[in-house]
């Protein structure tokens, strides 16, 4: 059987219907590929991965309830045979490293979705890593930038802005993205964007680490 005819069972998780629709169209166009499920948040993605045991889970990195990084970790732990491919708008070498460290095999920018998704799914299903050419360039630039710094120096990660501190405080108190959006008078998507930027800026990898950060820095109290 050739790779084009390889039987693949695929789960897609993204809170944007248009993105899910685009992924589903590409998946269904491939002979032998089967879309076995879809999810609109990270927690649902983990539950469906456990239940359906897909060959490949295609996850958005910024989702409600559980972000793509934490969902990746939980899926890889619960269903080791399921390979994870991340979809994102984040063009950051730090984010690429975090995604791969979480256990994902591939990293595809949503802007490259149409041209790269099929090859990405084929690669990760074969146990190979996949980065789009643009992502590979981002990683290389990050490596060269780090290599050019004097030894012992470290790029300042930057301090959270007042708005980011407020979001950290609310997350530390156990508020959901929806509750934070209502409290601050912004959209849920804006909260999710702030949350992703905060975690990237602080070098954190999960909501648990973010809560611990909030406690250590007395943003919230026990």
Tell me: the pLDDT tens digits for 139-153?
666 655 655 555 444
Strand pairing class (83-88; 106-109): parallel
The fold for domain 3-145 equals Rossmann fold (3.40.50)
Which candidate, 122, 127, 110, 216, places its Cα nearest to that of 172? 216
Task: List C-alpha distances in Å: 62 to 29, 52, 58, 109, 145.
Answer: 26, 22, 12, 13, 26
Task: List C-alpha distances in Å: 19 to 40, 57, 67, 214.
Answer: 11, 14, 16, 33
Instruction: Give the global pTM.
Output: 0.64
**What pLDDT is attached to residue 43?**
92
**What pLDDT is attached to residue 55?**
96
**What pLDDT is attached to residue 90?**
74
Burial class (CB in 10 A: 0-12, 13-18, 19+), 90: buried
**What pLDDT is attached to residue 49?**
96
Residue 176 makes CB contacts below 8 A (sequence gap 6+) with 64, 65
User: Cα 101 to the chain's mean position, in Å?
Assistant: 11
Domain 162-216 has CATH 1.10.10.10: yes
**What pLDDT is attached to residue 3?**
41
Q: Tens digit of pLDDT for each residue in 26-75?
A: 999 999 999 999 999 999 999 999 999 999 999 998 888 888 888 999 99
Residue ranges per domain, the chain?
A: 3-145, 162-216
Which residue ranges in the chain fall short of pLDDT 70? 1-6, 138-158, 221-222
**What pLDDT is attached to residue 148?**
54
Residue 105 makes CB contacts below 8 A (sequence gap 6+) with 83, 84, 85, 123, 124, 127, 128, 129, 130
């Amino acid at each position: 059987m050739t790779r084009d005819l390889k039987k693949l069972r695929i789960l897609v998780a993204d809170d944007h219907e248009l993105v899910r629709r685009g992924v589903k169209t590409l998946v269904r166009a491939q002979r032998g590929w089967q879309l076995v499920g879809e999810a609109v948040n990270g927690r649902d993605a983990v539950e469906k991965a456990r239940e359906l045991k897909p060959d490949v889970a295609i996850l958005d990195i910024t989702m409600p309830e559980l972000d793509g990084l934490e969902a990746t970790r939980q899926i890889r732990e619960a269903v080791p045979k399921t390979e994870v491919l991340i979809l994102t708008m984040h063009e950051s070498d730090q984010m690429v490293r975090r995604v791969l460290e979480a256990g994902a095999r591939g990293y595809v920018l949503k802007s490259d979705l149409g041209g790269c998704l099929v090859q990405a799914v084929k690669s990760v299903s074969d146990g190979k890593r996949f980065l789009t050419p643009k992502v590979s360039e981002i990683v290389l630039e990050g490596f060269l930038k780090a290599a050019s710094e004097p030894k012992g120096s470290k790029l300042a990660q930057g301090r959270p802005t007042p708005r980011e501190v407020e979001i950290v405080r609310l997350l530390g108190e156990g508020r959901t993205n929806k509750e934070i959006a209502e409290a601050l008078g912004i959209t849920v998507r804006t909260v999710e964007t702030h949350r992703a930027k905060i975690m990237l800026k602080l070098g954190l990898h999960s909501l648990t680490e973010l809560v611990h950060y909030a406690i250590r820095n007395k943003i919230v109290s026990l």
